[in-house]
Copies of this chain bind each other. A is one copy, B any other.
Amino acid sequence: MKEILCSIITIGDELLIGQTIDTNSAWIAQQLNAIGIQVIRRVAVGDVKDAIIQALDEEKKRVDIVILTGGLGPTSDDITKPLLCEYFNGTLVENEEVLKHVMSIFAKRNRPILASNVRQAMLPNTCQILFNEVGTAPGMLFEQDGKIFISLPGVPFEMQYIISTHVLSLLKEKFVAPNIIHRTLVTSGEGESFIANRLTDFEKELPKHIKLAYLPKLSIVKLRLTAINVDPNEIDVYFNSLKDILANILVADTDIELEQVLAQILTDHKKTMSIAESCTGGYVASIMTSMKGSSAYFKGGIVPYAIESKIAVLGIHADTIDSHTAVSEQTVQEMAEQCRLKFKSDYAVSISGYLEKNDSQNEVWIAVASAKEIKTKKIIVPYDREKNRILASNTALNLLRLFIVEEGR
């Protein structure tokens, strides 16, 4: 079966001066991948007519589908629509349905409609309009020489809406795509090269048409097997063998985040958690509440950032801090215990440490507590403030995950 290939072109000066991080491409790639379409290139260009045309000319030679994002807003740095109209030999024509929709949005917000907003209803007569119910700039689909070109607004949730609602079903109609199979294993506790060393024999035996990739990210290493048009049973044989080899550091056998695994375990066990975090400053709580339905297992948190807040708000004994300092096993033990009692949760995690006091020897203490037991762990975080925070958080979440799993046995 023929592979269906796609290039993504993202448009915007802000991408090239580094003011904006491109999250759209990754999201689009995930969606296309799931329906068997392979993204083989991503290109970012500025708001420059010639650069956009050159990118279109080049990418269409390589692929079946070109997706463009950005450059469709109401402001004057947006040049994509007139350019595409010309490129695909069209004329801009007012679309009544889009105009009505744009006007209704402004009516709902009780705001006057501007000329630039009205212009958003002017669309090339050579495109299929991809209606944007959640914003003012519609998407456009053009066809040329059997290739598909799709232009979408750069605002992530508008782009995502149009892809989910219109684009995926249209592409499934137009192409019979091969079946791309991924199997992802999530591990925590061992570095990339140590895992690779344990997998030397495994990799030797892996057939050429199944690819293994390592995706390391601060205490988490994901391993991904990929194959196109294979019998799922064949890839599963290798995937199961991978799981066996790495059983001791296995977090999940699907592409999932650590916090999702923990949320699932808490839900399955009908247990609740709370958190007292000092140096991570609310980051762990924000991770655990980023998931829909988190109120089922997350009771709350305290960020006792100042030492006096550890005493006055969380209820740590001043003696403990005086004798052992705020970054100590004794302090995190008391933090976890106080936190669990205050929030009346089944489990509590606590974190206290330094994220950027020293060059590469910052000590972070973590404790996890239930009514029966408290466990502690000290780690050294060697990176910058942001990475150290993520590393400490991941370590704490994994510690709680293991703690609950072991207690449940």
Contacts and interface: CB of A to CB of B under 8 A. Distances in A.
Contacts of A213: 13-14, 47, 77
Contact of A42 (B43, B73, B77, B203): B43
B18 A21 contact: no
A305 B301 contact: yes
B40 A42 contact: no
Contact of A40 (B16, B27, B41): B16
Contacts of A309: 274, 299-300, 342-343
A29 B58 contact: no
B43 A51 contact: no
Interface in A282-304: 282-286, 288-290, 292, 294-295, 298-304
Nearest to A154: B216
Interface residues of A, number: 97
Given A282-B301, A284-B282, A342 B26 contact: no
A3 interface: no
Interface in A209-228: 211-216, 222, 224, 226
Interface stretch (A124-132, A166-174, A362-370, A382-390): A382-390
Interface string A26-46: 111111010000111111111
Interface of A: 13-23, 25-31, 33, 38-47, 51, 55, 58, 73-77, 111, 114, 116-117, 155, 157, 182, 192-194, 196-197, 203, 211-216, 222, 224, 226, 255, 274, 280-286, 288-290, 292, 294-295, 298-306, 308-309, 312-313, 342-344, 356, 383-387, 389
- Which 4 residue pairs are nearest across A and B when measured between Cβ atoms? A281-B289, A282-B285, A18-B29, A18-B30
